[in-house]
Structures are given as C-alpha cells and as structure tokens.
Amino acid sequence: MEFIQTNEAPSAIGPYSQAVVVNGMVYTSGQIALTPEGSDELLGEDVVVQAVRVMKNLEAVLEASGSALENVVKTTIFLANMEDFATVNEIYAEAFGSHKPVRSTVAVKTLPKNALVEIDAVALVKD
C-alpha cells in the first residue's frame, strides 16, 4: 500500500491522504476547488470555476498515483445543488472525453468549505 501526496493538488484538509494505491488500483479522496498553492479558500463561488478546478486536482492526484483520467473506473460526484448537474456534467464530459467511467452523482446538504462540487475516483494504475 502506498499513500500519495503531490504538491500539484491541494493538501488534504484532514487526517487522510490524497490517494492510496493498492493492488494495482488507486483510490482518491474527494477533490474540491482548493488550489495546490495552499490557499484555504475555495477557488470561485461559481460551480463552473469550481468544477474545472476539481477536475484539475483529480487529474493531478491520479498522475501522482501512476494513473490518469483515462484509467478511471468509477467516480462519485457530490453536488451541493442538483440544479448544477447539467453544468458539472458538461465539464466532466469534456475532461474525460470519450472515456466514460461508471459514476454516481449525489446531492448533499453541505460539502467541506461549503464547496459546490466534490469528486472522487477509483482508477487502474498504468502498466
């Protein structure tokens, strides 16, 4: 088991790792719209800005884990407002391109730092 920490994504804001690699799989923690530079403030108050940053953070954690977006098997999207589903879906689709991992999307009451969107992933490690 290998715990992942990269400076290309925001540090964990609690007692957990950005990701863990085990048995050829990487499991990421949920990513919100914090920046890698260490700011404690969310990037933007708009779901578009936040979702773009979340996907960049997720990609950075996957790459540090020896994986990539095209190796993702499953994601979970957490939304503070289900009315943002279509908007986040567009950004998600653009990031993944023709690759379509299985996915769950859940509306939640609140997210850490009052984020509008959080995404985690399970992926294969590249050969």
**94-106 pLDDT tens trace:** 999 999 999 999 9
Bridging pattern class, strands 25-28 and 102-107? unpaired
Read off the pLDDT of residues 32-83 as tens digits, 9 standing for 90 and up: 999 988 767 787 889 999 999 999 999 999 999 999 999 999 999 999 999 9
CB atoms within 10 A of CB 76: 16
**How many distinct structural domains can be found in the chain?**
1
Which is more confident, 35 or 88?
Answer: 88
| pTM value > 0.85 | yes
Whole-angstrom Cα distance, residue 54 to residue 60? 10
Contact yes or no for 120/29 (Cβ under 8 A) = yes
Rg (CA), the chain: 13
Whole-angstrom Cα distance, residue 115 to residue 94? 21
Whole-angstrom Cα distance, residue 2 to residue 21? 5
Domain that holds residue 94: 2-124
Q: Domain with 65 in it: what CATH number?
A: 3.30.1330.40
CB atoms within 10 A of CB 98: 6
- Residue 103: which of 85, 116, 125 has the closest Cα? 85
